Chain A
């Protein structure tokens, strides 16, 4: 499995010659579009979320930008609420994965070999499980809700973050400036705070951005399967599930939420791509 880790590190390292500021800008614009939708949805919505005044499965018009669903609800309104949910799940689960993963990873990196070995072996088992299966297990236990989706995805991802943290921290700990810091009397928490964390943060940050996209996709899958946030939370996954049966008569309903999903995930991935070079210009020359 070493190659997987290598690829993770590779993913978090720059690839092409020259800066990739344009990738970063493109990524930020795509992501920003969805963030904007979500923020506006907090202040203003075209229609109340459960307003069913529109006709059923109306085609897009001036009154309903994306048409209506089979209950007569405005699709654009649902889409805006979906943006809110996608971002909430992404941020929530990545934050959870980051806190838990970095903690476990640092413990493994600092601990005695046998603690490290057993932690690493357990992580390997957890990582062998695809995120979605773990998430389904947690949902089976917790019942379907927005919070169990966040909890489920966050927990599943924390193992990946933990392993990456451990490997990166180990690398840093071998550096001479750590030995220097130790001999000059820096305590271990000083070493973690002032030397290890700042050095692993860039690579970790890029990886977390990639995890964000994966989290959004995982939430969409859960909702599609009916294991995500229950109605009236209009998750994009659930919108797609509802529109699937009427794709022939009202294709927009089955296309728009998917486009929104791809926009956000692609945007975040581009941001991660662009950040690689932005954070660490010394490595721009590689390959």
Chain B
């Protein structure tokens, strides 16, 4: 397990470096100087020089990268080009919305998908088994923001029982208000995500149901529920955990869109504003933080997979 852990850790670090280079290079391909975001059309040469000095674009590209990477290592994400406020605290305050949103939605989706997926597999001969399978087919074809719009229409505008968007100005001062603001966004993400997750749970359960060890357990006198719990869960969980990593990352990104539906001031709106204003510091900051999140989740998922399934521990690379 330890050699695998070290190799996987090395892969994590290399991935992060590669991703940072990609982010940096891609953003530098943007036509025009990053400093332009700070300048009006009729800027004087002195103003241009000052702006370039402020954002550092008067330095050679390689030096800019190493300055930036060096800052990263000290958890310093630089200052916003527009507001000149430091990026890191801004991201931290926005994570207070995006992270609970992502994690709550993920947890809810997990619960729904396990129930739906297992039921759809075990009861595939009943009408509700087929309905549940249909639900997950439909779910992967539905755009997440549309679900949000419909839910707002029904529960916020129609029934008026939940807020249609926004977040309390004093953040989590009043936890119930804050949570109320997150209910619809969480359900929106969870509904769509559980649909695709349920397909994997269903496939994994079908695999388990068709397995020899389950038949043996049943022949030994266990009921279906007991056999599934004792032998099926751990076996079925292996492929699902691998998917979970990907899905959790997707949720974070789904959050970007859903935040826009519910006008939540989270990471997503920061990224969008950054793109609109060409605020490179903010864009880079958000991208690096979400990349780190995605890579860490992948890391944890891979380790988790090996903890569940001892057979995988021998294989080092995992995917070949």
Contacts and interface: CB of A to CB of B under 8 A. Distances in A.
Interface in B233-276: 238-239, 241-243, 245-246, 249-250, 252-253, 256-257, 260-261, 271-272, 274-276
Interface in B153-185: 153, 157-158
B137 A269 contact: yes
A248 B140 contact: no
B27 A140 contact: yes
Interface stretch (B212-220, B221-229, B291-299): B291-299
Most buried by B among A138, A226, A247, A269: A247
Contacts of A185: none
B143 A4 contact: no
Interface in A233-278: 237, 240-241, 243-244, 247-248, 251, 254-255, 258, 261-262, 265-266, 269
B77 interface: no
Interface in B113-129: none
Contact of B239 (A6, A120, A241, A265): A6
A41 to B, nearest CB: 21
Interface in B123-160: 137-138, 140-146, 149-150, 152-153, 157-158
Contacts of A217: 141, 143
A287 B206 contact: yes
Interface stretch (B15-23, B40-48, B56-64, B101-109): B15-23
A119 to B, nearest CB: 12
Contacts of A168: none
A129 interface: yes
A132 interface: yes
Contacts of B320: 2, 120
A110 interface: no
Interface residues of B, number: 62
A2 B143 contact: no
A224 B260 contact: yes
B203 interface: yes
A139 B275 contact: yes
A141 B29 contact: yes
Nearest to A247: B153
Contact of B149 (A3, A125, A128, A247): A247
Contacts of A248: 153, 157-158
A53 interface: no
Contacts of A129: 19, 249, 291, 294
Contacts of A240: 143, 145-146, 149
Given A220-B143, A248-B153, A248-B158, A128 B260 contact: no
B209 to A, nearest CB: 10
Interface of B: 11, 14-15, 18-19, 22-23, 26-27, 29-30, 137-138, 140-146, 149-150, 152-153, 157-158, 200, 203, 206, 210, 238-239, 241-243, 245-246, 249-250, 252-253, 256-257, 260-261, 271-272, 274-276, 283, 287, 290-291, 294-295, 298, 302, 305, 318-320
25 contacts: A4-B242, A5-B319, A120-B319, A120-B320, A121-B11, A128-B249, A130-B252, A130-B253, A137-B26, A139-B275, A140-B27, A141-B26, A141-B27, A220-B143, A221-B257, A224-B145, A225-B260, A237-B145, A240-B145, A243-B149, A251-B153, A258-B150, A266-B137, A266-B141, A269-B141
